[in-house]
Amino acid sequence: MRLFSSIGNVLLRSFKFLRRDKKAAAGSIIMFVLLVITAFPTWFTPHDPSAEIYTPGAGLSWSHLLGTTSFGQDVFSQLIAGTRQSVMIALIVGFISTVLSVGIGITAAYSGGIVDDVLSLVTDVVLVIPTFPLIIVITAYLKSASFWLMVLVLVITGWSYGARQLRVQALSLRNRDYLLAARARGESSWYVICVELIPPMTSLIVANFLGAALYAVLTAAGLQFVGLGNINTESWGTMLYWAQNNEALSIGLPLWALAPGVAIAILGSGLALLNYAFDEIGNPALRPVSAKRLQKARA
Amino acid sequence: MRFLVRRLGFLLVALWAALTVNFFIPRLMPGNPAESMMAKFHGHVNPVAIKALEVAFGINNHQGLISSYFEYINNTLHGNLGLSLSYFPIPVSTVIMRALPWSLGLVGISTILGFVIGTALGAIAAWRRGGILDNVLPPAFIVISAFPYFWIGLLCVWFFALTLGWFPILGGYTETATVAWNWGFVGDILWHSVLPAFTILLTSIGGWILTMRNNMITVVAEDYVKMARAKGLKPRRVLWQYAGRNALLPNLTGFAMSLGFVISGAILVEYVFNYPGLGFTLLQAVQNEDYPLMQSLFLLITVAVLVAIFISDVATALLDPRTRSSS
């Protein structure tokens, strides 16, 4: 019973927060819609996305909302079918990178000394080496990157930014009184880290998850666009690849090339808006101020 | 001084890491793709060049891993990057030197412009809290930063080049133009660079605006800014000489950290516009399976980013006495 009421309480509080914060609300709605499409793509696809049976190069119409490709595929159905891969990449890479970031960042800050020196050095080196050329080189040898290979490469290159931020945050918390008190009580390191240290950092951790997810979506799309992904799967980046290789822009099919980019941007803005909202939870000074309230405060 | 020595040490460690990664990548790949590449070139290439390529890629060599590692490092440090396979027999370094000025010009100038303009806009947005800039810029750039960089380029091609016909669709200069240092040719180059530069500017500027705005919000609340205001200094002087200067420092470090992202985006922008810089050459090398060229380009881009980061460290040390005194 208590569990239910506390879950209800959390829901109520998040609902109130969403009503107050328009950015968070917009981000949540976008993510919810995309998750539904990811789970049940067939509800939304009027045509078989891979069937090459329609009039090639058709413009907008009710039966083809975004026209067709020069192979005679329905652009809108392809767009819906491609949602799953981008959303999955975002969630999986975001999750694994965040686990790595939390693990490495907090271990470094909590251990201090030589462990911190080594982990920080590794983090900084991974951070400054430009990741995209590196990913290009790796995938070039493998000819085309499968889904899980792409996840692996994106995680390897995507964890460092978060680890660095979390280390700094954990360092600033490390010597607070309540943490010292927990240690003085004789609590184990695991207890101190999981119960005392991590909860105050939740908003930063969530922000990191969203940042890593955004990075994964954009980088994966870029790789697929230049043909380094698996070009036979259904994804937004692959659509862009086929559109670019068939010169969709110059043969008068701009929607084929532009629609997947808009889809990526919708997912990206959803993540970025939520990220921004979590930044503002963590740092109240950044919250938007209305000009009226500001004048009142000054007067 | 100690700060700079530490940063120099970091530069060297990062360079070494990049070299080492570069050495091991082809060796860790399944099925050794480099071997099939070499098979094509046996007999056409002189034995010395073959030997250098074998060391670089770890093919049929009888020497141990460690000695070939040192030989590779030695070769690279002497600028001996091997021969390009797709432009055979031109050395990789010549191919790179051809592409380098294009990237330096396009990416260098648009990155610096983006940093300067973005920082200024961010400072003004935070200074007028709740004003038009403060309300419009952050959400606008959140949305823009969610678009793939190269897609903004595609949009520009479609709208400004294909639909309106204001700018050329692709390339760094008109193919038929005579290459010479006269106004006509320079103008042609500039005309071709407008759209790619605009794309890089638009996609990178948001980051600078947001970080500068956030730093500035913290700095504006500091006592010395209130003091400056209380003294009755002109607002413009307080904005740039007191608050702006101090809010800029963390942004310089941020500049170093996000440079890698900007370069990554620029690679795809060059690809969209067929702009003859390093990024476009890199992707062409990938398509042609020109592994020596590809790996040297990765190394060079990394070195460029690392050196730029070191320069921004030096700038931070010069501008901020605190980094010099404390370690």
Least confident residue range of A72-86, B28-42, B139-153, B298-312: B28-42
Q: Which two tokens stand for residue A46?
A: 């009027």
CA distance B253 to B320: 12
CA distance A10 to A32: 18
Give residue B211's pLDDT: 82
Of all residues in chain B, what percent carry a pLDDT higher than 70?
A: 81
d(CA A111, CA A234): 45
Residues 141..170 of B with a Cβ closer than 8 Å to A: which?
A: 142-143, 145-151, 154-155, 157-158, 162, 169
Set of chain B residues whose Cβ sits within 8 Å of the Cβ of A23: 139, 142
Cβ distance of B151 and A261 shorter than 8 Å: yes
Closest by CA position to B113, among listed B191, B196, B171, B186:
B196
Q: What whole-number distance in Å separates Cα of residue A174 and Cα of residue A178? A: 9
Supply angle C-alpha B149, A229, A71, rounded to 5: 90
Q: Which of B20, B142, B226, B278 would you mutate first to test chain A, the one with the most A CBs within 10 A?
A: B142
Residue of A nearest to B147 (CA): A265
Chain B CB contacts of A258 under 8 Å are 151, 154-155, 158
Q: Are B205 and B141 spatial neighbours (Cβ–Cβ below 8 Å)?
A: yes
Our CA angle for A246, A252, A256, nearest 5°, is 60
Q: What is the pTM of this model?
A: 0.81
Find the mean pLDDT for residues A207-235. Answer: 85
Cross-chain CB nearest to A121 (options B13, B157, B214): B13
Summarize pLDDT for B69-79 with one digit per residue, the tens: 887 788 778 77
Residue among A214, A128, A270, A106 at smallest CA distance from B307: A128
Q: From chain A, pick out residues whose CB is under 8 angstroms from the CB of B34.
A: 141
CA distances in angstroms from B37 to A129, B40, B68, B130, listed in the order given: 27, 6, 19, 60
Q: Where does the pLDDT of residue A99 fall: very low under 50, low under 70, confident under 90, or very high at 90 and above?
A: very high
Which range, of A8-12, A23-27, A207-211, B5-9, averages the lowest pLDDT? A8-12
Residues of chain A with Cβ-Cβ distance to B151 below 8 Å are 240, 258, 261, 264-265
Name the range with the highest mean pLDDT among A3-12, A14-23, A94-103, A178-187.
Answer: A94-103
Q: Any CB–CB contact under 8 A between B29 and chain A?
A: yes
**B29 with A142: Cβ contact below 8 A:** yes
- Say if CB B125 and CB B133 are below 8 A apart: yes
pLDDT of A283 reads 64
pLDDT of residue A61: 66
Question: What's the mean pLDDT when you consider all of chain B?
Answer: 78
What's the whole-number mean pLDDT along residues B268-281?
86
Q: Which residue of B has its CA nearest to A158?
A: B261
Taking CA–CA distances from B266, the nearest residue in chain A reads: A132
Q: Is the pLDDT of residue A245 over 80?
A: no
Range of lowest pLDDT (A79-88, A117-126, A247-256): A247-256
Give CA separation, B292 vs A114, A130, B239, in Å: 38, 19, 51
Contact A257 B217 (CB under 8 A): no
Q: Show the tokens assigned to B182.
A: 């006269």
Residue B327: band (very low, low, confident or very high) from pLDDT cuts 50, 70, 90: very low
* pLDDT band at residue B36 under the 50/70/90 scheme: low
Q: Which residue has the higher pLDDT, B43 or A221?
A: A221
Distance of CA B201 to the CA centre of its chain: 13
Q: How far is CA A3 from CA A7, A15, A285, in A?
A: 6, 18, 33
| Domains and their CATH numbers in chain B | 101-289 (1.10.3720.10)
Q: Supply the DSSP string of A194-226, one letter for each residue.
A: IIIISGGGHHHHHHHHHHHHHHHHHHHHHHHHT
ipTM of predicted assembly, 2 dp: 0.80
**Residue B284 confidence class, pLDDT cut points 50, 70, 90:** confident
Q: Which residues of A touch B214 (CB under 8 A)?
A: 283, 286
pLDDT > 60? residue A291? no
> Do the chains contact at B286 and A222, CB–CB below 8 Å?
no
pLDDT value at residue A7: 66
Quickly tell me which residue has 């500027």 as its tokens.
Answer: B205
A138, A222, A258 ranked by CB distance to B268: nearest: A222
CA distance A187 to A212: 33
- The answer to whether the Cβ–Cβ distance between A250 and B169 falls below 8 Å is yes
Report residue A195: phi and psi, to 5°.
-100, -35
- b/e map B287-310, b = 16+ CB within 10 Å: eebbbbbbbbbbbbbbebbbebbb
Question: What pLDDT, on a 0 to 100 scale, did the predictor assign at position A95?
Answer: 93
Spatial CA neighbour of A135 closest among A239, A234, A228 = A228
State the average pLDDT over residues A191-214.
82
